[in-house]
Chain A
Amino acid sequence: MPSSKEDMTRRKFLREGLWGACLAGAGTAAGLSVARNNQNNMVWQIDPYKCIGCGNCATYCVLEHSAVKCVQAYAICGYCDLCTGYLVPEPKALDTGAENELCPTGAIKRTYVEDPYYEYTIDETLCNGCGKCVKGCLAFGNGSLFLQVRHDRCKNCNECSIAAACPSQAYKRVPTDQPYLLKKVDLKE
C-alpha cells in the first residue's frame, strides 16, 4: 500500500523534526546557563546585618548538628563585664556559673583580661548555632557575635532548609571564593 508507506515517512519526518527540536531545546538550556553562569559556584551564607537570631539555624538544618556556628568579631566587642550575649537577663552574679550563662551548651568562654574587661570566645565544637547570644548581643551590646554558615560542615543543599525557614531573609547565595559575610569594623574615626 503506497499510502501506508507515505504515512510512515511523514511520521518519520515529524519524529526527526521533534528530535531535533528537543536537542535544540537542551542546547538552549545549556547555552542560557553558561551565559548566566559567573564562572563561580554559589554557596549559602547569612547576612549578619539581617540576622535577628531567631534560633531557626539550630533546628532547621538538615544536619543533626547545624552547619551554622557563631563567630566573635573581637574588634567590635565591647568586652563588657555585663555581657548580654553571655549572661541571662538579671543574672545572679557576673560570673561563669552555668545558671548565669545564656548559652544552652556553654560554648562561650569568659576570661578576665583586665579591669573591667572580659574576653568572650566561642568553642565551636560546642556551639549549636541557636543564636541566643547573637540576639542578646544585638539587643543591648555591640553586635559583635553573629552567625555564619561553616563551609566544612554545610552540604550546600540546592534549597537550604534554614533559608526556607529564615524569617528575616538573611540567607543568600554568595560566590565560592568569598564564602563568608563578616561584620566589618565600622568605627567612626
Chain B
Amino acid sequence: MTRLACITVFSMAVLVPCLSALGELRFPPPEFESGYRFPEGAPLPAARPVLYEYADAVLLTVALLLASHLILRRRNRRAIFGLMVLALFYFGFWRDGCICPIGAIQNVTLTAFDSSYAIPLAAAAFFVIPLVFTLFCGRVFCGAVCPLGAIQDAVLIHPVRVPRWLESGLRLLAYTYLGAGVLFAAVGSAFLICRYDPFIGFFRMTGNWNILILGASLLFIGLFVGRPYCRFLCPYGVILRHLSRLSKRRVTITPNECIKCRLCEDACPFGAIREPTEDWPEGEYRIAKKRLVLFLVLLPVLVAAGGWGGYALKERLARLHPRVRTAERVFLEETGRVTGTTNASDAFRTTGQASEVLYREATAIRNRFAVGGGLLGAFVGLVAGGKLVALSVRRRRTEYEADRAGCFACGRCYESCPKEHERLKKAKGAVAGL
C-alpha cells in the first residue's frame, strides 16, 4: 500500500514536474466538508524598528563627546575607564557588537561600488562620526568608546614592550586586512572584516568555534601585549591613525611643559610615547641619508612587485566568491571531469539559466579581482616601502610626547607626570579655597 502510494506520488512528480513553475499545484487544495478553517499560524515577529538604529547613532555621538571631554579636559583615567566599560556593555554585550565602525567600512565601500545597495543610515553614521571626532580630538573613539578596544584594554595586566621595528612590521597586517576588506566588499564577494571579527562571539555569548578560539587567543595575547587587535589588525584603526596625525587637538602627556623627568617613559602599554631625540652624529647621519635614498628608490620597485603579486593571486581571490565556485563546479560537471552534483550546481540548474550566463558572470568577477588584486598588492607594497622610509627618517623632538598616530587616548600616561599632580593639587586648592 505504502509502496503503491509512493509510486503514485513519484510518477505524478515525473508527469507534472513543471506545474508548480506555472503557478499550479500538484495536489489541488482540498475542499473540506467538515467546515475546517485554516489555522492562524504563528505570528511573524516584526523586525527591530529603525528608530533604535538612530538612537544608537545619537548614543555614539554622546559617548564620543563625553570621551573627548574626559580625555582632553578632565584628563582622568578612571573616568575614561568607566566610560569604556559602559561602552563595552552597551555597544558590545547589549547591542551584540553589531553594527560597529570597523565593519561599516565595507558597507560604505559597497555603497560606492554597487548602486543597488542601500546602506543603513546607522552604518553610515557609525563610519563617519568617529572619523570626524578623530579629525578634531584624536583617537578618542579607540580610547573610550570602541567595544573591541575596550574588551582588550580591560584584560591587559602585564604589558611587555614590543620593539618599534616589529610593531611597525606587524602593522602591515592591518593595512593588508583593510585593503582586502575593501576589495572583497567592492567586488560584492564577502564582508571579510565581519566574518573574522574576533570578539563578536564573546559579545553574543555564542558563535562559530574557530572565531571563538581566535578571539580567546587574541585576549590571551592581550594579557601581555596591549590591544593586539587594535595595533596589528584593526582596519578602521589604520584610517584613524592617519586622521589622528592631522587632528586639531590631541593627547598631551603633560598639562603644560615637559621637564624631561622620564617618569612617563614606561607609562604607555602600547609603545606610543616618543622620547626626545638628539641630533645624529655626522657619520651616522651620512649612512642614514644613503639608506633613505636606497629606500626611496626601492619604493616603486616594492609597489610594482606588490601589484604583480596581487595580480598573480587573482584566481585564488576570485575563488572565494561563491558565484565563481559554482561556475567552476558546473564547468567540471558539464565537461564530465567530475561525477555527481553539489547543492550549488543543483540550485543553479533549477533556475533554468544557461551555463554560459554563469560563466560570463564568473569571468566578470575574475576580471574585477585581477584589477583589484593588483591594486591591493600595489597598496601593500606602497605601505611596506613607506614604512621603510619612515623608519629611516628621524623627527626632531624636544620633549616626551604621545605619538599622534599610535596613541589610543586611553589616558594612562597622565598620572605619571609630576606636572599633572601639580595641576591637580592646584585645582583642588582652588576648590578648597572657595
Contact = CB atoms under 8 A, between A and B. Distances in A.
A170 B103 CA distance: 23
A188 B21 CA distance: 12
Given A52-B347, A62-B204, A82-B6, A157 B128 contact: no
A75 B29 contact: yes
Interface residues of B, number: 81
B195 interface: yes
Contact of B41 (A30, A33, A72, A91): A72
Contact of A142 (B25, B119, B128, B350): B25
A175 B93 CA distance: 26
Interface stretch (B30-38, B272-280, B281-289, B421-429): B30-38
B118 interface: yes
Contact of A52 (B41, B108, B343): B343
B122 interface: yes
A133 B344 CA distance: 19
A159 B109 CA distance: 14
A80 B8 CA distance: 13
Contact of A159 (B5, B190, B207, B326): B190
B97 to A, nearest CB: 9
B24 A188 contact: yes
Contact of B117 (A36, A54, A89, A186): A36
Contacts of B246: 15, 18-19, 22
A78 B29 contact: yes
B111 A188 contact: no
B300 interface: no
Interface residues of A, number: 78
Interface in B126-172: 127-128, 131-132, 135
A32 interface: yes
Contacts of A90: 2-3, 6
A158 B100 CA distance: 9
Contact of A34 (B6, B121, B131): B121
Contacts of A77: 29
A68 interface: no
B323 to A, nearest CB: 8
Give the one of A62, A76, A114 with max B CB within 10 A. A62
B350 A29 contact: no
A93 interface: yes
Nearest to B350: A52
Given A150-B45, A157-B98, A84 B9 contact: yes
A62 B9 contact: no
B50 A176 contact: yes
B235 to A, nearest CB: 14
A158 B20 CA distance: 34
Contacts of B261: none
Contacts of A15: 246
Contacts of B104: 158
Interface string A35-57: 01110111100000010101010
B32 A74 contact: no
Nearest to A152: B45
A82 to B, nearest CB: 5
Nearest to A63: B206
B122 A30 contact: no
Interface string B46-73: 1111100100000000000000000000
B260 to A, nearest CB: 23
Given A29-B128, A141-B26, A167-B342, A75 B190 contact: no
B120 A37 contact: yes
Interface string B189-228: 0110011000011001011100000000000000000000
A154 B48 CA distance: 10
Given A84-B9, A89-B6, A167-B344, A26 B194 contact: no
Given A78-B26, A179-B46, A155 B204 contact: yes
B322 interface: yes
Contacts of B12: 140
A161 B49 CA distance: 22
A62 B207 contact: yes
B218 to A, nearest CB: 18
A33 B122 contact: no
Contact of A148 (B5, B9, B44, B208): B44
A64 B208 CA distance: 9
B112 interface: yes
A1 interface: no
Interface string A149-189: 01110111111010010011100010010011000001110
Given A121-B41, A167-B342, 6 more contacts: A41-B53, A89-B6, A151-B46, A154-B47, A168-B344, A168-B350
Interface of A: 15, 18-19, 22-23, 26-27, 29-30, 32-34, 36-38, 40-43, 50, 52, 54, 56, 62-64, 71-72, 74-82, 84, 89-94, 113-114, 117, 119, 121-122, 124, 139-143, 148, 150-152, 154-159, 161, 164, 167-169, 173, 176, 179-180, 186-188
9 contacts: A37-B119, A62-B204, A76-B25, A114-B36, A124-B42, A140-B26, A151-B48, A155-B204, A176-B47
